[in-house]
């Protein structure tokens, strides 16, 4: 809920006064939610500083694909274990 309030324009400092957690905790929650939802603006990491926009986009696409493949591998691994027990 606080994440939506920040996205709607409320200041994390004001929300911290109102709801108790620190403003930094609220900022961290928003950043984490943005990353999980792929909403965060792409800021190049130090290792990516030398990449152009096309290369950064490709790197982001490959990271998303890698994440998807890991999830699929984990699902298949669990399924194989389930069938081996049965």
For 7-42, write each residue's pLDDT tens digit: 788 888 888 888 888 888 888 888 888 888 877 555
What global pTM score does this model have? Answer: 0.44
Q: What is the pLDDT of residues 40-86, one digit of tens each?
A: 555 656 666 788 888 888 999 999 999 999 999 999 999 999 999 97
Q: Which long-range contacts (CB under 8 A, 24 or more apart) does 49-55 make?
A: none
């Amino acid at each position: 809920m606080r994440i939506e309030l920040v996205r709607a324009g409320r200041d994390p400092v004001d929300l911290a006064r109102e709801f108790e957690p620190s403003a930094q905790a609220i900022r961290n929650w928003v950043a984490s939610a943005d990353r999980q939802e792929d909403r965060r603006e792409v800021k190049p990491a130090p290792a990516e500083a030398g990449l152009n926009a096309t290369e950064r986009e490709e790197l982001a696409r490959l990271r998303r694909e890698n994440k998807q493949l890991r999830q699929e591998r984990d699902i298949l691994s669990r399924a194989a274990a389930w069938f081996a027990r049965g």
